[in-house]
């Protein structure tokens, strides 16, 4: 058994190295690679993904995993969980023929390039054939993985174990019922503050300094986390030693980057605080997209858009920022960054309307994967739902169906994570407030105890525990979306004096 475990761990280290290399290439292509490099990169991806495929489906690995699982009571918990996770990945990978898997990587790479161009040039037709292929692959792969379930349910399960359309339909129905009336009331009421100071010219070098300050408040160790600049911010992690967040600076919208940094910083805190015993293991990352989003959105919105936090950070912003910010009061700043307005862009949406952006994507991809919506009809369907739920007219596809990168990467079933994550965060807050003087700490800019609380209940476990187990640890109860609804109703009632 000892020899088996040794070989198994050696193999895992090799897989980790490939995934590290893959990740660095991917990060490089998103941040600094010149556009012309994409064909060569596609060839490299094809070679690497073939090797990854072989490593993941290696008969030796399978034999070791099976042996470990057959003696699961005799092995340590980490090894057992590694074997369990691997077994699932292997089964999934094996069901896809290798040629198709390699082909898919190339298709994905081409789709991502086409999407970039299509978004810039507002040309959905350029992206449509690529998207059709990706939808085709997603449906086909879902069929390979589990031919008995609806393909979209199979895909949802790959992002969040056990998540189904039935759960999400109920979740979004509750949000529609409880929150759409609040959205309407807010629209009726209109603006409660002049927020033009948010559009004052804030030079980029000063915004970079603000990012550094925010990272420090978040307690992020810069020796293990840096900030890249991209069009669409994201976070990449190679291990807890090397996490990279990204942001996008707009001279006349400093809050946009400010909240990107806090959001991505939340993802980073999760990765940076995984337990040392699993840091180079396949278990050394976040448990699921939803749990990840529960953290990024917790810091971005619950903490970052609270009056306590804004009162604390405003003097620093005033020191770095333009004159227009000099006389702004913390309360006005709080009202301004919590302004709610039905809008076009998900990543810029306020907390109240945010989930409806997600719901629209959920409805659309459910239909795309379910085969009831053709790719060519997607822009019209998108625009119709934006009108129906948010009351906005979509002027072009760049600000509409082409705005997000997810579908261009073949990620169908990912979007619901954003709304679920937000809801998890609100539930965690309730328990945290019982244990910690959360708002006193935030008002002092002392986030350490909050990070420690989350590390104890979530971060340290990486993927050792499953999402529902982590929710139980953090919330001491199963998921309940009522907390989220109550949190939003309470917050916007106060902000808008409803």
Question: Mind telling me the catalytic residues?
Answer: 264
| Shortest reach from residue 129's CB to Zn ion, in Å | 29
Site size toward Zn ion (CB under 5 A) is 1
| Shortest reach from residue 215's CB to Zn ion, in Å | 16
What is the side-by-side strand order in the sheet with 235-239? 225-229, 242-247, 235-239
Residue 437 is given by DSSP the state: -
Q: Which is nearer to Zn ion, 294 or 296 (CB)?
A: 296
| Shortest reach from residue 421's CB to Zn ion, in Å | 8
Neighbours of 66 (CB within 10 A): 13
User: What b/e readout covers 477-493, taking b as 16+ CB neighbours within 10 angstroms?
Assistant: eebebebbbebbbebbe
For the CA atoms of 96, 100, 105, 109, what is the dihedral angle to 10 degrees?
Answer: -140
Choose among 487, 476, 493, 485: nearest CA to 432: 476
Window 59 to 118, contacts with Zn ion (CB under 5 A): none
Q: Which is nearer to Zn ion, 379 or 425 (CB)?
A: 425
DSSP letter string, 445-467: T--HHHHHHHHHHTGGGTTSS-H
Q: Which is nearer to Zn ion, 42 or 233 (CB)?
A: 233
Task: Tell me the window of 54-62, 289-297, 393-401, 402-410 that interacts with Zn ion (CB under 5 A).
Answer: 289-297
Spatial distance between the Cα atoms of 330 and 453, rounded to a whole number of angstroms: 27
| Shortest reach from residue 35's CB to Zn ion, in Å | 25
Q: Which is nearer to Zn ion, 227 or 325 (CB)?
A: 227
User: What b/e readout covers 219-247, taking b as 16+ CB neighbours within 10 angstroms?
Assistant: bbeeebbebbeeeebbbbbbbbebbbbbb
| Shortest reach from residue 417's CB to Zn ion, in Å | 8
Task: Tell me the window of 90-98, 136-144, 268-276, 292-300 that interacts with Zn ion (CB under 5 A).
Answer: 292-300
Q: Which is nearer to Zn ion, 112 or 296 (CB)?
A: 296
Task: Tell me the window of 13-21, 290-298, 382-390, 405-413 that interacts with Zn ion (CB under 5 A).
Answer: 290-298
- Name the CA radius of gyration of the chain, rounded: 23
| Shortest reach from residue 263's CB to Zn ion, in Å | 6
**Burial level of 8, CB count in 10 A (0-12/13-18/19+)?**
buried
| Shortest reach from residue 81's CB to Zn ion, in Å | 25
Q: How far is CA 314 from the centre of its chain?
A: 27
Spatial distance between the Cα atoms of 86 and 12, rounded to a whole number of angstroms: 9
Window 294 to 323, contacts with Zn ion (CB under 5 A): 296
Q: List residues bridging with 247 in a β-sheet.
A: 229
Window 15 to 44, contacts with Zn ion (CB under 5 A): none
Q: Which is nearer to Zn ion, 365 or 397 (CB)?
A: 365
DSSP letter string, 123-161: -HHHHHHHHHHHHHHHHHHHHHH-TTS-HHHHHHHHHST
Residues 6 or more apart from 264 whose CB is under 8 A from it?
Answer: 233, 234, 235, 245, 246, 247, 296
| Shortest reach from residue 188's CB to Zn ion, in Å | 31
In this structure, are residues 265 and 218 in contact, taking their beta carbons and an 8 Å threshold?
Answer: yes
| Shortest reach from residue 91's CB to Zn ion, in Å | 28
Task: Tell me the window of 169-177, 185-193, 291-299, 316-324 that interacts with Zn ion (CB under 5 A).
Answer: 291-299
Dihedral sign of CA atoms 352, 422, 23, 158 in order: negative
Q: Which is nearer to Zn ion, 256 or 296 (CB)?
A: 296
Structure tokens of 156?
Answer: 């949802």
In this structure, are residues 153 and 130 in contact, taking their beta carbons and an 8 Å threshold?
Answer: no
3-state secondary structure of 335: helix
Q: How far is CA 148 from the centre of its chain?
A: 29
Q: Which is nearer to Zn ion, 151 or 421 (CB)?
A: 421
Choose among 421, 379, 340, 395: nearest CA to 163: 421
Phi, psi of 345 (to 5 degrees): -105, 120
Contacts with Zn ion, 248-287, as mask; x by CB under 5 A: ----------------------------------------
| Shortest reach from residue 379's CB to Zn ion, in Å | 25
Q: Which is nearer to Zn ion, 262 or 464 (CB)?
A: 262
Residue sitting closest to Zn ion (CB): 296
Q: Which is nearer to Zn ion, 49 or 247 (CB)?
A: 247
> Which residues of this chain interact with Zn ion, rule CB under 5 A?
296
């Amino acid at each position: 058994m000892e020899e088996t475990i040794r070989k198994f761990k050696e193999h895992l280290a090799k897989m980790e190295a490939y995934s590290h290399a893959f990740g660095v290439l991917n990060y490089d292509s998103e941040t600094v690679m010149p556009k012309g490099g994409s064909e060569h990169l596609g060839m490299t991806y094809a070679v690497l993904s073939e090797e990854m495929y072989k490593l993941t489906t290696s008969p030796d690995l399978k034999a070791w995993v099976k042996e470990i699982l057959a003696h699961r009571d005799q092995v340590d918990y980490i090894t057992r969980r590694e074997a369990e996770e691997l077994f699932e990945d292997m089964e999934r990978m094996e069901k896809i023929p290798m040629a198709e898997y390699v082909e898919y990587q190339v298709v994905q790479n081409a789709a991502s390039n086409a999407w970039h161009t299509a978004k810039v040039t507002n040309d959905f037709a350029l992206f449509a054939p690529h998207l059709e292929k990706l939808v085709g692959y997603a449906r086909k792969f879902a069929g390979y993985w589990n031919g008995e379930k609806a393909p979209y349910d199979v895909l949802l399960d790959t992002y969040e174990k056990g998540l189904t359309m039935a759960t999400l339909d109920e979740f979004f129905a509750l949000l529609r019922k409880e929150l759409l009336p609040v959205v309407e009331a807010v629209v009726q009421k209109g603006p409660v503050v002049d927020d033009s100071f948010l559009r004052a010219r804030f030079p980029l070098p000063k915004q970079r300094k603000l990012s550094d300050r925010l990272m420090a408040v978040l307690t992020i160790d810069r020796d293990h986390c840096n900030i890249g600049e991209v069009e669409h911010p994201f976070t990449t992690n190679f291990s807890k030693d090397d996490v990279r967040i990204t942001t996008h600076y707009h001279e006349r919208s400093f809050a946009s980057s400010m909240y990107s940094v806090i959001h991505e910083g939340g993802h980073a805190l999760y990765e940076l605080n995984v337990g040392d015993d699993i840091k180079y293991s396949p278990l050394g990352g976040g448990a699921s997209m939803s749990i990840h989003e529960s953290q990024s959105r917790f810091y971005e919105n619950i903490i970052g858009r609270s009056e306590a936090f804004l009162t604390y950070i405003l003097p620093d912003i005033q020191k770095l920022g333009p004159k227009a910010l000099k006389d702004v009061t913390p309360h006005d700043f709080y009202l301004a960054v919590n302004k709610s307005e039905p809008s076009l862009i998900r990543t810029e949406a306020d907390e109240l309307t945010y989930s409806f952006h997600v719901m629209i994507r959920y409805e659309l991809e459910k239909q795309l994967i379910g085969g009831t919506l053709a790719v060519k009809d997607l822009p019209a369907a998108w625009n119709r739902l934006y009108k129906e739920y948010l009351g906005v007219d979509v002027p072009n596809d760049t600000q509409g169906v082409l705005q997000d990168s997810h579908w261009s990467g073949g990620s169908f079933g990912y979007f619901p994570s954003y709304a679920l994550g937000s809801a998890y965060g609100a539930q965690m807050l309730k328990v945290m407030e019982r244990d910690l003087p959360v708002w006193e700490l935030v008002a002092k800019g002392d986030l350490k105890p909050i990070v420690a609380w989350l590390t104890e209940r979530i971060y340290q476990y990486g993927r050792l525990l499953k999402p529902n187990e982590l929710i139980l640890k953090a919330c001491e109860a199963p998921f309940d979306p009522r907390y989220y609804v109550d949190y939003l109703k309470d917050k916007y009632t106060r902000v808008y004096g409803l």
